């Protein structure tokens, strides 16, 4: 099991990143909260990791904080919640805020996260009410298509939001509503996700 990686950040293109560890390149999927914590390319970073092994794929997930990895591992044990949905949850809401949503049984707020319908929200509340407090910390937020991403913040943010599960027709409105001149990709995504969680 790979529990932690320390190496040079070679590439970061939300929602995927590449880490060079002693000459070996590790491709990881990460929530947006981790991207908010990443340094510039070429800098050394340490990530908490979770390795998922299936018949058709070996997937490695990276997290800036232990609390995020703990919540991820808790979420994927819930019936009907896979890694993609777990990453969407971590990208859309902080560990502490998620704990509060569960504690207050806020079904409507949970449903604003891609991949979470009413039944899934109810299942999360039922199964996690007594567990999320254990992984709640001070943390804040997946590997998408490998094709080239347009090199401007608005376009990159749009691609990342679609990879997180938001519908293309909704992404344009989300991004345009919050993007301001000079905003970085991470800033646009952060503001769009906060706005989506608040709802109309």
Query: 7-49: per-residue pLDDT in tens?
Result: 999 999 877 999 999 999 999 999 998 998 899 999 999 999 9
126 lies in the same domain as 73 = yes
Q: Kindly state whether residue 73 falls inside one of the protein's structural domains.
A: yes
Residue 148 predicted with pLDDT over 60: no
- The number of distinct structural domains making up the chain is 3
Question: 42: domain CATH number?
Answer: 2.40.50.140
Q: What is the pLDDT of residue 103?
A: 85
Q: What is the pLDDT of residue 132?
A: 67
**Which residues fall within 8 angstroms of residue 4, CB to CB, at 6 or more apart?**
46, 47, 48, 49
pLDDT higher for 83 or 134?
83
Q: Kindly state whether residue 188 falls inside one of the protein's structural domains.
A: yes
Q: Kindly state whether residue 59 falls inside one of the protein's structural domains.
A: yes
Tell me the percentage of the chain whose pLDDT exceeds 70. 89
**For range 151-165, the mean pLDDT:** 79
Cα(149)–Cα(161) distance, rounded to whole angstroms? 13
Q: What is the pLDDT of residue 184?
A: 86
Residue 50 predicted with pLDDT over 90: yes
11 lies in the same domain as 41 = yes
3-class secondary-structure state, position 184: coil
Looking at residue 194, the DSSP 8-state letter turns out to be H
Domain boundary among 31, 48, 63: 63
Tell me how many degrees the CA angle 49-165-184 measures, rounded to the nearest 5. 75
**For range 77-100, the mean pLDDT:** 88
40 lies in the same domain as 74 = no
Q: Which helix (H) or strand (E) holds 49?
A: strand 44-54
Q: Kindly state whether residue 103 falls inside one of the protein's structural domains.
A: yes
Lowest mean pLDDT among 41-55, 94-108, 153-167, 179-193: 153-167
**Which residues fall within 8 angstroms of residue 5, CB to CB, at 6 or more apart?**
19, 21, 26, 28, 46, 47, 49, 62
The Cα-based distances of 116 to 43, 69, 76 in angstroms read 35, 19, 13
The Cα-based distances of 195 to 75, 125, 175 in angstroms read 23, 22, 10
Residue with tokens 């800036």: 64
Domain boundary among 17, 33, 63: 63
Q: What is the pLDDT of residue 171?
A: 83
Residue 150 predicted with pLDDT over 60: no
Average pLDDT, the chain: 83
Q: Kindly state whether residue 145 falls inside one of the protein's structural domains.
A: no
pTM check: above 0.85: no
Q: Which helix (H) or strand (E) holds 163?
A: helix 153-163
Q: Which domain holds residue 161?
A: 153-198
Q: What is the pLDDT of residue 145?
A: 32
119 lies in the same domain as 174 = no
């Amino acid at each position: 099991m790979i529990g932690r990686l320390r190496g040079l950040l070679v590439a970061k293109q939300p929602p995927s990143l590449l880490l060079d560890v002693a000459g070996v390149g590790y491709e990881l999927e990460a929530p947006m909260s981790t991207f908010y914590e990443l340094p510039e390319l070429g800098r050394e970073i340490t990530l908490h990791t979770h390795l998922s092994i299936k018949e058709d794929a070996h997937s490695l997930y990276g997290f800036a904080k232990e609390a995020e990895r703990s919540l991820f591992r808790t979420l994927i044990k819930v019936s009907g919640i896979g890694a993609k949905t777990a990453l969407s949850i971590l990208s859309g809401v902080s560990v502490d805020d998620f704990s509060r949503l569960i504690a207050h049984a806020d079904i409507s707020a949970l449903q604003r996260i891609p991949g979470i319908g009413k039944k899934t929200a109810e299942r999360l509340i039922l199964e996690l009410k007594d567990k999320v407090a254990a992984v709640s910390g001070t943390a804040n937020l997946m590997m998408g298509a490998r094709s080239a991403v347009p090199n401007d913040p608005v376009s990159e943010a749009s691609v990342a939001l679609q990879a997180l599960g938001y519908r293309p027709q909704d992404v344009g409105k989300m991004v345009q509503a919050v993007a301001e001149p000079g905003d970085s990709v991470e800033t646009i995504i952060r503001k769009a996700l906060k706005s989506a969680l608040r709802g109309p």
